[in-house]
Amino acid sequence: MRSQVIKIKNIPQQEPPVHYIRVKPVTALSVMLGAGVGLLFTDAVWQVIGMSMIMFALFCLVLLPDRVLVVFNPKFMILNNCIDRSECMMIYWDEIVNWQYEWHPANDNLTITMVDGSMQIIELYSKRRVAKYMNMYAPNKEIKNVRIKEGKI
C-alpha cells in the first residue's frame, strides 16, 4: 500500500495542491472585517457595531492559532491528523474504499476506510467543503448517513 505516514517536509511537490482546509475560516473573517470597516461610515450606533466586528475579526485573524487540516491534490490527499505535528498521512485516491462524514455534538469527523482495512479519522467542521473534493477525486465512495425517525420503520 502506497498510502503512509510521512514527514511533512517529504510531501511530493510535483503538482500544486488544489485546495486546503484550514482550522480558521479566513474568508468569513475577512468579510466580517470588511463589513465592519464599511459600518464605520454610517450612524453612531452602526459605528459601534462595526468597531466590534473589526475587533473580533482582528482578534481571530491575528491571535488565534491556525493550521492546515487537509490538503487535496489530484493524486493524493494529505491528512494532518498525526500526534507528531511534523508528520502527516498521505492517502492515494485509488486506495480509498469508502468515506463518511459523521456529525457529532462537539465536532464532525471525516472517516476514511482504506484498502487494507485501516481507518483514518480527522476532525473537520464543514461537510460542504470536504464533500466537493472527496466526490471529485473519490467518486461514488461516500457512505451516506441514513437517519431514521423514531417510531417509523
**Residue 103 near residue 145 (C-beta atoms within 8 A):** yes
Grid cell, residue 99, equals 468515506
pLDDT digits (tens, 9 = 90+) for 43-84: 999 999 999 999 999 999 999 999 899 999 999 999 998 888
Write the pLDDT tens digit of every residue in 96-129. 999 999 888 888 899 999 999 999 999 988 888 8
The mean predicted confidence, pLDDT, of the chain is: 88
CB 85 within 8 A of CB 7: no
Stated pTM of the model = 0.78
The dihedral region occupied by 32, where left means phi > 0, alpha psi between -120 and 50, and beta the remainder, is alpha
CA distance 153 to 144: 18
